[in-house]
Amino acid sequence: MATPGRSRPVEDVATSAKPKRAERRRAKNAIHRRNRRRAFTLTELLSTFVIVSVLLGIGLCLCRGARQAARTVVAQGNLRQVSVGLELYFRRFFNYPAESDNLVTPLTPFVGEPRVFRNPLDDEPVPGRTLSLLYHQPTPAQIDCPNFYVTALLCADRSTAVILKTGGIIEKHDGLHLPASDLRQAALALDLQWGRYRSPGAGLSGPAGPTSPDDPDGEPLNGAVNLNPKNNYDFEFELRRPDGSTLTRDHLHASGGSADFSGPAVWIRFTPKGNGNQNSLSLDGQPYEVSNGRTYVIQGGAIQTHVYNSSKGGGRATGKWWLAVNAAHATITASK
pLDDT band for position 301 (50/70/90)?
low
Domain-embedded: residue 181: yes
Predicted TM-score (pTM) of this structure: 0.45
Supply the pLDDT for residue 268: 93
Domain-embedded: residue 55: no
Supply the pLDDT for residue 180: 57
Q: Which domain holds residue 172?
A: 72-188
Q: What is the signed CA dihedral for 262, 296, 142, 274, rounded to 10 degrees?
A: -90
The mean pLDDT of 253-275, rounded to a whole number, is 82
Closest CA to 135 of 157, 114, 153, 113: 153
Q: What are the tens digits of pLDDT across the range 88-124? A: 888 888 889 887 768 899 999 888 788 889 999 888 8
Domain-embedded: residue 87: yes
If one compares 189 and 22, the residue with the highest pLDDT of the two is 22
330 and 274 share one domain: yes
pLDDT band for position 306 (50/70/90)?
confident
Secondary structure tally for the chain: helices H, strands E: 6, 11
Q: How many domains does the chain have?
A: 2
Q: Are 208 and 264 in contact (CB under 8 A)?
A: yes
Q: Are 326 and 222 in contact (CB under 8 A)?
A: yes
225 and 321 share one domain: yes
Supply the pLDDT for residue 206: 28
254 and 327 share one domain: yes
d(CA 212, CA 256): 36
Domain-embedded: residue 295: yes
Domain-embedded: residue 268: yes
Supply the pLDDT for residue 297: 92
Q: What are the tens digits of pLDDT across the range 31-62? A: 666 555 555 566 777 777 778 777 777 766 65
Closest CA to 320 of 257, 237, 246: 257
141 and 241 share one domain: no
DSSP 264-308: EEEEEEEE--S-GGG--EEETTEEE---TT--EEEEEEEEEEEEE
225 and 179 share one domain: no
pLDDT band for position 9 (50/70/90)?
low
Supply the pLDDT for residue 93: 84
Domain-embedded: residue 2: no
Q: Are 211 and 329 in contact (CB under 8 A)?
A: yes
Torsional class of 42: left (φ above 0), alpha (ψ -120 to 50), beta (otherwise): alpha
d(CA 266, CA 297): 11
For residue 298, which amino acid is it?
I
